[in-house]
Amino acid sequence: MELSVLKIDGTESGKKAVLNDEIFGITPNDHAIYLDVKQYLANQRQGNAKTKDRSEVAYSTKKLIRQKGSGGARHGSLKANIYVGGGRVFGPKPHFYGFKLNKKLKQLARFSALSYKAQDQAIVMVEPFAMDAPKTKEFIKILGNIKAGDRKVLFVLPSNSDNIYLSSRNLPEVKVITVDEINTYEIMNANSLVLVDGVQDILASRIKR
Protein backbone atom coordinates (compact mmCIF):
# COMPACT_ATOMS: atom_id res chain seq x y z
CA MET A 1 0.00 0.00 0.00
CA GLU A 2 1.32 3.46 -0.90
CA LEU A 3 0.35 6.85 0.47
CA SER A 4 1.39 10.30 -0.68
CA VAL A 5 3.53 12.12 1.86
CA LEU A 6 2.18 15.61 2.51
CA LYS A 7 3.99 18.75 3.52
CA ILE A 8 2.66 20.63 6.54
CA ASP A 9 1.10 23.18 4.18
CA GLY A 10 -1.09 20.41 2.74
CA THR A 11 0.66 20.07 -0.62
CA GLU A 12 2.18 16.81 -1.83
CA SER A 13 5.91 16.46 -1.30
CA GLY A 14 6.24 14.14 -4.31
CA LYS A 15 7.33 11.27 -2.10
CA LYS A 16 5.38 8.04 -1.64
CA ALA A 17 5.39 6.11 1.64
CA VAL A 18 5.14 2.33 1.30
CA LEU A 19 3.08 0.76 4.09
CA ASN A 20 4.05 -2.82 4.88
CA ASP A 21 1.18 -5.20 4.09
CA GLU A 22 2.14 -7.29 7.14
CA ILE A 23 1.22 -4.30 9.30
CA PHE A 24 -1.36 -2.30 7.38
CA GLY A 25 -2.82 -4.97 5.11
CA ILE A 26 -3.64 -8.01 7.24
CA THR A 27 -7.08 -9.48 7.87
CA PRO A 28 -8.01 -7.84 11.20
CA ASN A 29 -8.49 -10.12 14.20
CA ASP A 30 -11.33 -8.63 16.25
CA HIS A 31 -10.79 -10.89 19.25
CA ALA A 32 -7.12 -9.91 19.51
CA ILE A 33 -8.17 -6.26 19.44
CA TYR A 34 -10.77 -6.93 22.16
CA LEU A 35 -8.24 -8.63 24.45
CA ASP A 36 -5.58 -5.94 23.99
CA VAL A 37 -8.04 -3.09 24.62
CA LYS A 38 -9.44 -4.96 27.62
CA GLN A 39 -5.94 -5.33 29.06
CA TYR A 40 -5.14 -1.66 28.42
CA LEU A 41 -8.29 -0.49 30.22
CA ALA A 42 -7.78 -2.97 33.06
CA ASN A 43 -4.27 -1.61 33.60
CA GLN A 44 -5.72 1.90 34.02
CA ARG A 45 -7.69 0.78 37.08
CA GLN A 46 -5.95 1.64 40.34
CA GLY A 47 -7.62 -0.99 42.52
CA ASN A 48 -6.94 1.09 45.65
CA ALA A 49 -10.31 0.57 47.37
CA LYS A 50 -9.74 -0.68 50.92
CA THR A 51 -11.89 -1.12 54.02
CA LYS A 52 -10.93 -2.37 57.47
CA ASP A 53 -12.12 -5.72 58.70
CA ARG A 54 -12.71 -6.51 62.36
CA SER A 55 -9.04 -7.34 62.92
CA GLU A 56 -8.02 -3.83 61.84
CA VAL A 57 -10.50 -1.42 63.49
CA ALA A 58 -9.36 0.31 66.66
CA TYR A 59 -11.79 -0.88 69.33
CA SER A 60 -11.46 -2.65 72.64
CA THR A 61 -11.85 -6.40 72.56
CA LYS A 62 -13.51 -6.42 75.98
CA LYS A 63 -16.62 -8.56 76.06
CA LEU A 64 -19.67 -6.27 76.14
CA ILE A 65 -22.13 -8.35 78.14
CA ARG A 66 -22.12 -11.71 79.80
CA GLN A 67 -22.56 -14.70 77.57
CA LYS A 68 -25.88 -15.88 78.99
CA GLY A 69 -28.77 -14.47 80.94
CA SER A 70 -29.11 -11.04 79.31
CA GLY A 71 -32.08 -12.02 77.15
CA GLY A 72 -30.31 -10.75 74.08
CA ALA A 73 -27.88 -12.06 71.53
CA ARG A 74 -24.32 -12.97 72.40
CA HIS A 75 -21.73 -10.24 71.74
CA GLY A 76 -18.02 -10.47 72.17
CA SER A 77 -16.58 -7.23 70.74
CA LEU A 78 -17.44 -3.79 69.41
CA LYS A 79 -15.37 -4.74 66.35
CA ALA A 80 -18.26 -6.82 65.03
CA ASN A 81 -19.69 -5.60 61.76
CA ILE A 82 -23.18 -5.04 63.24
CA TYR A 83 -21.90 -2.08 65.27
CA VAL A 84 -21.30 1.43 63.90
CA GLY A 85 -17.57 1.74 63.37
CA GLY A 86 -17.09 -2.00 63.39
CA GLY A 87 -15.15 -3.91 60.80
CA ARG A 88 -16.63 -4.50 57.36
CA VAL A 89 -17.37 -8.02 56.22
CA PHE A 90 -15.90 -9.01 52.82
CA GLY A 91 -14.89 -5.41 52.06
CA PRO A 92 -12.68 -4.49 49.08
CA LYS A 93 -8.93 -4.98 49.26
CA PRO A 94 -6.21 -3.48 47.03
CA HIS A 95 -6.45 -5.44 43.81
CA PHE A 96 -4.49 -5.59 40.55
CA TYR A 97 -6.88 -5.88 37.62
CA GLY A 98 -4.33 -6.38 34.86
CA PHE A 99 -3.62 -9.67 33.15
CA LYS A 100 -0.98 -11.13 30.87
CA LEU A 101 -1.11 -11.24 27.08
CA ASN A 102 1.48 -12.77 24.78
CA LYS A 103 3.62 -10.32 22.80
CA LYS A 104 2.61 -11.84 19.47
CA LEU A 105 -1.08 -11.45 20.31
CA LYS A 106 -0.56 -7.79 21.24
CA GLN A 107 1.33 -7.28 17.98
CA LEU A 108 -1.51 -8.92 16.05
CA ALA A 109 -3.97 -6.59 17.80
CA ARG A 110 -1.96 -3.46 16.90
CA PHE A 111 -1.53 -4.51 13.30
CA SER A 112 -5.25 -5.38 13.09
CA ALA A 113 -6.13 -1.90 14.35
CA LEU A 114 -3.74 -0.28 11.85
CA SER A 115 -5.21 -2.41 9.06
CA TYR A 116 -8.69 -1.20 9.96
CA LYS A 117 -7.49 2.40 9.68
CA ALA A 118 -5.89 1.64 6.31
CA GLN A 119 -9.11 0.01 5.06
CA ASP A 120 -11.08 3.08 6.16
CA GLN A 121 -8.56 5.37 4.41
CA ALA A 122 -8.11 7.15 7.73
CA ILE A 123 -4.31 7.41 7.59
CA VAL A 124 -2.48 10.60 6.61
CA MET A 125 1.28 10.65 6.00
CA VAL A 126 3.21 13.83 6.76
CA GLU A 127 6.86 14.57 6.12
CA PRO A 128 9.01 15.15 9.23
CA PHE A 129 8.83 18.68 10.59
CA ALA A 130 9.85 20.66 13.63
CA MET A 131 8.30 23.54 15.56
CA ASP A 132 10.55 26.28 16.93
CA ALA A 133 8.23 26.92 19.87
CA PRO A 134 4.95 25.55 21.26
CA LYS A 135 2.18 27.24 19.25
CA THR A 136 -1.28 25.69 19.40
CA LYS A 137 -2.64 27.97 16.66
CA GLU A 138 0.13 26.88 14.29
CA PHE A 139 -0.50 23.21 15.08
CA ILE A 140 -4.25 23.62 14.39
CA LYS A 141 -3.36 25.18 11.05
CA ILE A 142 -1.19 22.15 10.19
CA LEU A 143 -4.04 19.77 11.02
CA GLY A 144 -6.36 21.78 8.81
CA ASN A 145 -3.87 21.85 5.94
CA ILE A 146 -3.41 18.08 5.88
CA LYS A 147 -7.16 17.49 6.36
CA ALA A 148 -6.67 15.26 9.40
CA GLY A 149 -10.24 15.89 10.56
CA ASP A 150 -11.53 17.64 13.63
CA ARG A 151 -12.49 14.62 15.75
CA LYS A 152 -10.10 12.35 17.64
CA VAL A 153 -6.84 12.67 15.76
CA LEU A 154 -3.90 10.47 16.78
CA PHE A 155 -0.58 12.04 15.78
CA VAL A 156 2.33 9.56 15.81
CA LEU A 157 5.95 10.81 15.81
CA PRO A 158 9.12 8.76 15.19
CA SER A 159 10.69 10.33 18.27
CA ASN A 160 9.74 12.72 21.02
CA SER A 161 9.24 16.42 20.21
CA ASP A 162 8.38 18.63 23.17
CA ASN A 163 7.24 21.57 21.05
CA ILE A 164 4.81 19.47 18.99
CA TYR A 165 3.49 17.78 22.13
CA LEU A 166 3.01 21.07 23.97
CA SER A 167 1.34 22.62 20.93
CA SER A 168 -1.32 19.89 20.99
CA ARG A 169 -1.82 19.63 24.73
CA ASN A 170 -4.77 22.03 24.88
CA LEU A 171 -6.63 20.28 22.07
CA PRO A 172 -8.99 17.69 23.59
CA GLU A 173 -9.59 15.92 20.26
CA VAL A 174 -5.88 15.53 19.43
CA LYS A 175 -3.32 13.22 21.01
CA VAL A 176 0.37 13.22 20.13
CA ILE A 177 2.43 10.12 20.93
CA THR A 178 5.68 8.55 19.76
CA VAL A 179 5.86 5.26 17.89
CA ASP A 180 7.11 3.65 21.13
CA GLU A 181 3.82 4.55 22.82
CA ILE A 182 1.47 3.39 20.08
CA ASN A 183 -1.12 0.88 21.27
CA THR A 184 -4.32 -0.76 20.08
CA TYR A 185 -6.63 1.32 22.27
CA GLU A 186 -5.31 4.67 21.04
CA ILE A 187 -5.50 3.55 17.41
CA MET A 188 -9.07 2.27 17.67
CA ASN A 189 -10.17 5.29 19.71
CA ALA A 190 -9.01 7.71 17.00
CA ASN A 191 -11.05 8.68 13.97
CA SER A 192 -7.95 9.49 11.93
CA LEU A 193 -4.30 8.59 12.19
CA VAL A 194 -1.50 10.99 11.24
CA LEU A 195 1.86 9.28 10.78
CA VAL A 196 5.05 11.27 10.41
CA ASP A 197 7.12 9.69 7.64
CA GLY A 198 9.53 7.17 9.19
CA VAL A 199 7.06 5.72 11.69
CA GLN A 200 6.10 2.96 9.23
CA ASP A 201 9.75 1.87 8.91
CA ILE A 202 10.18 1.69 12.69
CA LEU A 203 7.04 -0.44 12.98
CA ALA A 204 8.27 -2.74 10.19
CA SER A 205 11.62 -3.23 11.95
CA ARG A 206 9.86 -4.46 15.08
CA ILE A 207 7.79 -7.25 13.55
CA LYS A 208 8.09 -10.37 15.73
CA ARG A 209 7.98 -13.57 13.74
* One domain, residues 105 and 162: yes
- Whether residue 41 sits in one domain with residue 73: no
Please state the rounded mean pLDDT for residues 13-19: 87
Predicted confidence (pLDDT) at residue 121 exceeds the cutoff of 80: yes
**Do 106 and 30 share a structural domain?**
yes
Q: Which of 35, 64, 91 is the last residue of a domain?
A: 91
64 and 12 part of one domain: no
Q: Which stretches of the chain are assigned E, i.e. beta strand?
A: 2-6, 12-18, 123-126, 153-157, 174-178, 192-196
Our separate counts of H helices and E strands in the chain read 7, 6
Per-residue pLDDT of 165-196, as tens digits, reads 999 999 999 999 999 999 999 999 999 999 99
What are the tens digits of pLDDT across the range 134-173?
999 999 999 999 998 778 999 999 999 999 999 999 999 9
Residues 81 and 139 in one domain: no
The number of domains in the chain is 2
Is the pLDDT reported for residue 209 higher than 70?
A: no
pTM of the model: 0.82
Q: Are residues 77 and 160 in the same domain?
A: no
> Are residues 61 and 39 part of one domain?
no
Q: Considering the chain, what is the average pLDDT of its residues?
A: 92
Say whether both 42 and 103 belong to one domain.
Answer: yes
pLDDT of residue 148: 86
Residue ending a domain, among 91, 119, 153, is 91
Same domain, 28 and 105: yes
Its domain, for residue 11, covers 2-46+99-205
How is 155-200 classified by DSSP, letter by letter? EEESS--HHHHHHHTT-TTEEEEEGGG--HHHHHH-SEEEEETTHH
pLDDT of residue 62: 86
CATH number, domain of 192, equals 3.40.1370.10
Question: pLDDT category, 207, cuts 50, 70, 90?
Answer: confident
C-beta contacts of 198-207 below 8 A and 24+ residues apart? 198/128, 198/158, 199/156, 199/157, 199/158, 200/17, 200/18, 200/19, 200/20, 200/23, 200/24, 202/158, 203/20, 203/23, 203/114, 203/179, 204/20, 204/22, 204/23, 207/20, 207/22, 207/23, 207/107
Q: Is the domain of 108 the same as that of 18?
A: yes
